[in-house]
Amino acid sequence: MTRVYCDICGKEVVRKKEIWKHTLTAREGNKRVSYDEHIEEICESCATTIHCCTSMMKQGWKPDFHEMKEAAAAAADGADQPTLLPGA
């Protein structure tokens, strides 16, 4: 039996039926920076968080990505840019 771990938080997914996946792709011809993302194995907790965030964004919520702002400021100052990926 193969163990499955969440690609976001790293938690083992105990029941295989609880695995979620998330895909974000640009439409063909989109010339902006590619934000293509495909995550195959997500636990129910992380899937719920993604769902809640996207639902709230549709209602006008603006997330505060302070880690991204801090990384951009550090990079502008010439410091090493921190890795923002989970598990890194």
pLDDT tops 70 at residue 68: no
pLDDT, residue 36, reads: 78
Once rounded to an integer, what is the mean pLDDT over residues 5-21?
85
Question: Backbone phi, then psi, for 36, in 5-degree steps?
Answer: -60, 130
Give me the percent of the chain exceeding a pLDDT of 70: 76
What is this structure's pTM? 0.62
The residue extents of the domains of the chain are 4-76
Joined together, the tokens standing for residue 78 give: 């010439």
pLDDT, residue 81, reads: 45
- Confidence at 67, pLDDT banded by 50, 70, 90: low
The string of pLDDT tens digits covering residues 25-64 is 877 887 776 677 888 899 888 889 988 888 998 999 887 7
- DSSP of 5-42: E-TTT--EESSGGG-EEEEE-PPTT--SPP--EEEEEE
List the one residue out of 23, 63, 65, 66 whose CA is nearest residue 47.
Answer: 23
